[in-house]
């Protein structure tokens, strides 16, 4: 049998990690009227404690490009035409949209705030995220083939969350994002009280998402600068908790159709974590082992190893990836990985996206690149690849372009992009040697 010819069409880049949101005042028309009176004093007095971070902008004079925790005020979040122009320039045909700005009554942007901590906070923050979700429907409608919006929900009130999932599905949104763990509020995903929520997501065909956030509070006189540093350092460990909750907690045993996406991460940590989880599950079958009494009652409810559930139910969106994250793709599963650009965050790949794609996918077989950059995401979010291919034919990178190795001379002098900055530190010394 003759070898299959490679697909000569441009790559369709679907970013599985983008961020969008309205400016503060533009949320008011989407806010329930009962909150309008409270909205005005909140909006007039609001100050984002993260707003001053990343003021140096060491690698660009683009004042609208900010690090994630300080990006809520960037017009890239809400200026639809400007955003499309930037996506075209970067070769991105479509993107999945997570929240980013400051919904009504939030203490800070969506990527730094914790889940509500009490009933009063929940009442106001829930009104705020509902306003965001309704704004997002309209924002996606401005480019319906190119935007897959995610409805934000909390898990404080399961009935509210379920109702929002069903509303979001009817409104055309493509998935749900649940709160990430934060030093101020942990959200344990193994709790049985959440089962009606998982069931509703399965019934509506809505994948569930967790996105990494800054897990600590902003700096105050009481905390000092350690709050920010420790929050940054603990981001990974807090984010990683959710995977063990779902895999060892039996969620995928009870809901085999549930699909969960972990976004803004790498992939290199997943393999070791799966081995640890498989090891813990095995201990639960070994009578006489010290850990048997701790694990066996949970493990007896599982019909698969944690890694087997992962291969069926979990996707990773590595928008802060470097070369080592692609090297372990077979361990993770090529069909489990969905590339992302993290626009408009400074640590993402903008404005170096085509370079970042070359850095990540150079030397990888074309069929695998297509899976990780478009096919996997199109399946998860129900995107029309035929329509997106027409856009990619105009803006997307060619197969030859992505296959061209990156040399030190291709790199910018500096970059905050996680992918590009890693290459600068790795390739420049090699070229100078």
Mean pLDDT of the region 45-54: 81
| C-alpha pair distances (Å), 293 with each of 24, 317, 330 | 52, 35, 34
| Nearest CA-CA partner of 110 in 36, 24, 197, 43 | 24
In the predicted model, is pLDDT for residue 5 greater than 60? no
List 175's β-bridge partners, or say none.
150
| Nearest CA-CA partner of 159 in 126, 121, 135 | 126
Model pTM? 0.94
Report the share of the chain in percent with pLDDT over 70.
97
For the sheet containing 92-99, what is the strand order?
13-20, 92-99, 147-152, 175-177, 208-211, 260-263, 314-317
Q: Which two tokens stand for residue 291?
A: 């850990």
When pLDDT is cut at 50, 70 and 90, the band that residue 370 belongs to is: very high
Specify whether the CB–CB gap between 218 and 194 falls below 8 A: no
Mean pLDDT of the region 311-339: 96
Task: Give residue-wise pLDDT tens across range 118-167.
Answer: 999 999 999 999 999 999 999 999 999 999 999 999 999 999 999 999 99
Say what the pLDDT of residue 66 is.
84
Which is higher by pLDDT, 430 or 76?
A: 76
Query: What domains can be seen in the chain, in order of their start residue?
Result: 13-405 (3.20.20.140)
**Mean of all residue pLDDT scores within the chain:** 93
Task: Give residue-wise pLDDT tens across range 378-401.
Answer: 999 999 999 999 999 999 999 999
Nearest-Å Rg of the Cα atoms of the chain is: 22
Q: Considering all CA atoms of the chain, what is the largest pairwise distance in Å, rounded to the nearest integer?
A: 72
In the predicted model, is pLDDT for residue 1 greater than 60? no
Report the share of the chain in percent with pLDDT over 90.
77
Task: Give residue-wise pLDDT tens across range 412-428.
Answer: 999 999 999 999 999 87
Say what the pLDDT of residue 96 is.
98
- In sign, the C-alpha dihedral spanning 421, 236, 338, 149 is negative
CA distance 397 to 9: 9
Question: Tell me, what DSSP letter sits at residue 345?
Answer: B
In the predicted model, is pLDDT for residue 171 greater than 50? yes
| Nearest CA-CA partner of 180 in 144, 206, 211 | 211
| 265: phi then psi, degrees, rounded to nearest 5 | -155, 180
Task: Give residue-wise pLDDT tens across range 184-237.
Answer: 888 999 999 999 999 999 999 999 999 988 777 888 888 888 888 888 888 888
Say what the pLDDT of residue 56 is.
67
Collapse the DSSP code of 142 into the 3-class scheme (helix H, G, I; strand E, B; otherwise coil) and give the result: coil
Length of the chain: 433
Asked whether the bond before 172 is cis by omega within 30 degrees of 0, the reply is: no
Say what the pLDDT of residue 4 is.
40
Task: Give residue-wise pLDDT tens across range 88-117.
Answer: 999 999 999 999 999 999 988 888 888 889
In the predicted model, is pLDDT for residue 17 greater than 80? yes
Residues 6+ apart with CB under 8 A from 243: 262, 270, 273, 277, 310, 314
| Nearest CA-CA partner of 425 in 5, 416, 342 | 416
Say what the pLDDT of residue 2 is.
37
Residue-by-residue DSSP string for 78-94? T-HHHHHHHHHHHTEEE
Q: Which two tokens stand for residue 272?
A: 């070791």
When mean pLDDT is compared across 57-71, 140-154, 205-219, 352-366, the lowest value belongs to 57-71
In the predicted model, is pLDDT for residue 290 greater than 50? yes
Containing 354, the helix (H) or strand (E) segment is helix 353-361
| Nearest CA-CA partner of 97 in 85, 117, 111 | 111
């Amino acid at each position: 049998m003759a070898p299959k010819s490679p697909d000569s069409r441009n790559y369709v880049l679907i970013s599985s990690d983008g961020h969008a949101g309205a400016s503060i005042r533009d949320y008011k028309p989407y806010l329930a009227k009962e909150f309008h009176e409270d909205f005005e004093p909140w909006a007039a007095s609001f100050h984002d404690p993260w707003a001053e971070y990343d003021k140096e902008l060491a690698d660009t004079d683009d004042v609208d490009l900010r690090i994630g925790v300080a990006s809520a005020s960037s017009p890239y979040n809400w200026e639809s035409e400007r955003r499309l122009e930037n996506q075209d320039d970067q070769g991105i045909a479509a993107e999945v949209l997570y929240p980013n700005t400051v919904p009504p009554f939030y203490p800070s942007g969506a990527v730094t705030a914790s889940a509500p901590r009490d009933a009063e906070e929940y009442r106001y923050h829930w009104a705020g995220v509902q306003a965001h979700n309704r704004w997002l429907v309209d924002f996606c409608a401005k480019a319906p083939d190119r935007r897959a919006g995610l409805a934000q929900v909390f898990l404080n009130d399961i009935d509210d969350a379920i109702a929002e999932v069903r509303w979001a599905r009817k409104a055309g949104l493509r998935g749900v994002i649940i709160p990430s763990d934060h030093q101020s509020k942990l959200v344990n995903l193994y709790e049985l009280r959440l089962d009606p929520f998982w069931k509703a997501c399965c019934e509506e065909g809505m994948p569930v998402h967790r996105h990494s956030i800054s897990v600590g509070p902003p700096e105050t006189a009481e905390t000092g600068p350690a709050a920010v540093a420790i929050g940054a350092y603990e981001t990974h460990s807090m984010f990683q908790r959710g995977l063990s909750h779902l895999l060892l907690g039996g969620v995928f045993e009870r809901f085999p159709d549930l699909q969960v996406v972990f976004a803004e991460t790498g992939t290199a940590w997943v393999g070791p974590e799966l081995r640890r989880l498989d090891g813990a599950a095995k201990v639960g079958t070994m009578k006489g082992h010290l850990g048997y009494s701790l694990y066996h009652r949970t493990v007896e409810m599982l019909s698969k190893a944690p890694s087997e559930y992962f291969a069926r139910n979990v996707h990773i969106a590595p928008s802060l990836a470097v070369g080592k994250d692609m090297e372990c793709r077979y361990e993770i599963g090529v069909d489990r990985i969905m590339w992302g650009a993290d626009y408009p965050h400074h640590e993402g790949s903008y404005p170096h996206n085509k370079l970042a794609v070359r850095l990540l996918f150079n030397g990888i077989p074309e069929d695998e690149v297509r899976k990780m950059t478009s096919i996997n995401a199109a399946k998860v979010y129900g995107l029309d690849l035929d329509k997106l291919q027409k856009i990619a034919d105009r803006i997307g990178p060619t197969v030859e372009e992505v296959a061209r190795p990156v040399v030190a001379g291709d790199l910018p002098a500096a970059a905050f992009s996680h992918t590009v900055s890693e290459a600068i530190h790795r390739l420049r010394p090699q070229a100078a040697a």
